Structure 1
Amino acid sequence: MPEHPTHRKEAALRGTVNQLARTLALANRYLVEQLEQQGLHGIAPSHGDIFVQLFAHGELPMSELAQRIGRDPSTVTALVKKLATGGYVTTAKQAEDKRVVLVKLTDRGRRLQPVFDSISNALTTVQCQGLDAEDLEAFDRTLRTMQENFETALKGEPA
C-alpha cells in the first residue's frame, strides 16, 4: 500500500531543521578554518555579516547595522566590541545625536576585504558543488517560505 502524501511530507520534513542546523555548524567550522589559515584568529563567522555591511557602506549606526544583519542590537554591540578590541573597527557617538553610535572600519579592518572576498568565494564553491542553478533556486525558495512560516508563527498569526 503506497504511503499517504501527507505522511511522506511529514517524514521528509522531520529532519529538516536538524539538517539545516548541522549544515550551518559545518559551514561555520569551514569558515573558522579558512579564517585561521589566513592568520585571523579571534574573528568568528558571526563577525562576517558586520564586515560585509561595513565594506559596502563604510560607516553605519549600530542600530542600522543590527537591522541590516538581522541580529539583536545587544548581540551586535558585543560583536562590534570584540572587533574594536582587535583593532578592526572604531565606534564613536554621532555629533548630531549623541545617542547614535557609529561603527566604522579601521585601516586594519579595510585591509581584510580581499581576504573576506576570497573566503566567501571558497564557501560558495563548496556549498554549491553538485548543485545546478535550478536546485539552488528551488532550495532558496523553500528556505524563504520556511522562514516566512516561522516569522508568521512567531507573530502569533495563523499559518
Structure 2
Amino acid sequence: MMEDFSGLALPPLFGGHILETELDAAGVELTAGTTEILESGGTPQDIQKDTRELDKRKYQALSKRVKELEQVNERMLARLHRVQRLTRRLKKERRFLMKTLDTYGDDYRNAEITIPLEDEGGANLDGIPGGDDGGSSPSTTNQPACGPKKKRHRVPKEKERDAQ
C-alpha cells in the first residue's frame, strides 16, 4: 500500500515515518549508537554523557525539521489567504457585471456559451504543429490580447500654461 506524497512541498522522511535518514546524514545513529554505548563497557557517566549527546543531536535534527515544516505551513497559509481574497474579489466583480447586464436588459442568463476546455491534450488551439507541450508558459498566457498599453499624455495644468 504505497501512499502518494507528490503534493507535498517537502519530501516525506522514510515514507512518512521517523526521521532516521536525516539523523544518519547528520551523523546520528538510532540503534547502532545505543548498542555501541552499552557494549563499550565504559563508566556509567560516560554512557550517560554519550546518550545525552545522541539525544541532543536527535533533538536538533527534529527541531530543524519542525522549523522547515512550519515555514512550509506559513507559505501555504499565505497562499490560501491570497486565493480567498482573489475569490471574494472575483465574486464581487461577477455580481457587479450581472447587475449591470440586468440594468441594460441583456438576456445573458439564457445565452448559449461555448467554452473550449484547456484540459484536452489533443486539442491544439494555437494551430502550431507539435501538439500540446503539457502547459503554456506563464509569460504567454498572462499577456493581454490587445497589445501593449498606450502611454497617456499628461495635460498641462494652468500654472504650467501660464509659465510658457
- TM-score, normalised to structure 2, is 0.25
The structure that has the greater radius of gyration is 2
Greater strand content:
1
Q: Which has the higher helix share?
A: 1
Pick 1 or 2: higher relative contact order, CA cutoff 8 A, min separation 6: 1
Output the TM-score relative to the length of structure 1.
0.25
